[in-house]
Amino acid sequence: MEELDVHRKIIHVDMDAFYASVEQMDNPELKGKPLAVGGGGKRGVVSAASYEARVFGVRSAMPGVKARRLCADLIFVKPRYDRYKEISIQIRKIFFDYTDLVEPLSLDEAYLDVTENKKGNPSATLIAEEIRKRIFDEVGLTASAGISINKFIAKVASDYNKPNGQKTVDPEEVIGFLEDLDVKKFYGVGKVTQAKMYEMGIYTGKDLKTKSEEFLTQYFGKSGGHYYRIVRGVHLSQVKPNRERKSLAAERTFSENIASEIYMLERLEGIAEELQKRLKISKVSGRTVTLKIRYSDFTLQTRSKTLPYFVNDATILLETAKELLYQEKMKNSVRLLGISLSNLNTAREKQKQKQKQEIEIIQLRFDF
């Protein structure tokens, strides 16, 4: 088995209630009030909740109706993704002042490898403090951070002193920290796996550590090996600054179930236009169009088609989605439709750039 790598210094920065905090910053009247970003209607879903709303149990991905039941004074605001992206870019510029090894996970969180950093500061803890202070001073938002020897532990640690706090797990503290950790905090342990582990008497990292790799693989498949390693602090995944986007998507949840395919096509037109906008902003195209259908009974179905060319045009996206819609008869009324585009040209562009550089090198050799 790989050995524990105690030499790396990894920071996980996680913005506090990011979408909701941006809304409260831009509209001071919302500060201190329970706020949800998303839809509060019958079919709406909470995208983010302020800490004032979380006190009442309001959480992201929760139906808006349930959120209102939990908090009668809850204020709903529509998401402004362009604004969140704008703020996210400002924050990432701060990260790059310290290291080029920045791996964004989403608009509101990222890993930073500061083992070697631009400030020459040997303390990852002090770097995290400085970054959080700069985010507050320059952007106006608070962030939390976790600091440790690998990405897994840093991510878990960033949640410990939220909001507006940080936690460092030093190399000599790693094993004790993991042994005390509830297994539900381990990356890759979802609700089903958590319940299965609890049934087996595995509640903490210490319990998990008593199980052999063969035992864990027998009951949890390939993930068993992952659990065996991370409970021993072994997680060698590098901070990858050039993570390629795999897909782009747009979707809509409807206020009323839709049974007519005519109405579905009308909705898909708007979804295709929104996806085209996102593709243009990201400057990417793709070949595989996927239609996402969530029925009124909450079952999910996807239908895909790979085109012989790269596209980012709403008309082609809509025509392909229309073809997929008619591919088979709808089994029920529909509450959500979405279109995604994958098999993007990002990898192709990278290869083209590499080939271009190789050609330039060859030309230089001949010129010489």
Active site residues: 109
Q: What angle do CA 336, 342, 343 make, to 5 degrees?
A: 160
